[in-house]
């Protein structure tokens, strides 16, 4: 995974509530076991028409919303089943940060474990950001080290994150990489048992 301390990127509005994991990545695309290649199927039922062409009215298909790394969503983002493929698809598409008033608990944990930073902010702040995100171009700066979010218009808020996940995301580590950092100690212990 790729870590970051500060991310200053395009942020787009995705003003939808109760977006479930089946809408994020539909079940027919869960046959793969790799963590990559899912971005093309992100929001599939909304992004594509029945004939396979892009839906021009869908937010992510509009030219002004291309190449964004920050998704501003509405409440209860990631509800539904616990599929880990949902954060895989978001990350593979290019999203590194998701802002919303609330997230489903399992989805929130799956994001953190897979290098996506989910940040819950009060509803009134999300409403402001959604309006700003509809006016492109719009950039946000997410400073993970200082735990702040700001823009060039003076918007500035702080957010909470567990110290463990903050360290993991800043360094681009997953739980396997944490274990591998102890490989010498594990080997030493295993040899002592022989």
Task: Please state the length of the chain.
Answer: 194
Q: Per-residue pLDDT for 158 more than 80?
A: yes
The residues near 92 (Cβ < 8 Å, ≥ 6 apart) are 35, 36, 37, 38, 39, 40, 42
Per residue in 91-107, pLDDT tens? 999 999 999 999 999 99
Report percent pLDDT > 70 for the chain: 100
CA atoms of 34 and 54, how far apart (whole Å)? 25
Give the model's pLDDT for residue 57: 95
Nearest to 153 by CA among 171, 167, 139, 143: 139
CA atoms of 151 and 157, how far apart (whole Å)? 10
CA atoms of 126 and 159, how far apart (whole Å)? 13
Give the 3-state secondary structure of 134-179: HCCCCEEEEECCCCEEECCCCCEEECCCCHHHHHHHHHCCCHHHHH
CA atoms of 126 and 120, how far apart (whole Å)? 9
Give the model's pLDDT for residue 184: 87
Give the model's pLDDT for residue 177: 82
Q: Per-residue pLDDT for 44 more than 90?
A: yes
Contact 74, 100 (CB under 8 A): yes
CA atoms of 3 and 5, how far apart (whole Å)? 7
């Amino acid at each position: 995974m790729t870590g970051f301390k500060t991310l200053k990127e395009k942020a787009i509005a995705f003003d939808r509530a109760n977006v479930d994991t089946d809408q994020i990545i539909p079940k027919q695309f869960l046959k793969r076991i790799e963590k990559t290649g899912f971005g093309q199927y992100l929001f599939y039922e909304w992004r594509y028409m029945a004939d396979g062409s892009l839906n021009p009215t869908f937010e992510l298909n509009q030219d002004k919303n291309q190449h964004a790394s920050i998704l501003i969503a509405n409440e209860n983002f990631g509800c539904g089943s616990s599929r880990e493929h949902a954060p895989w698809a978001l990350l593979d598409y290019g999203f590194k940060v998701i802002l919303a008033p609330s997230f489903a608990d399992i989805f929130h944990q799956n994001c953190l474990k897979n290098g996506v930073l989910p940040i819950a902010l009060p509803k009134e702040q999300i409403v402001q950001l959604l309006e700003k995100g509809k006016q492109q171009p719009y950039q946000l700066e997410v400073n993970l080290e200082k735990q702040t979010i700001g823009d060039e218009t003076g918007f500035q808020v702080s957010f909470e994150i567990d110290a463990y996940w903050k360290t993991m995301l800043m360094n681009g580590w997953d739980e396997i990489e944490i274990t591998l950092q102890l490989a010498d100690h594990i080997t030493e212990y295993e040899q002592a048992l022989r």
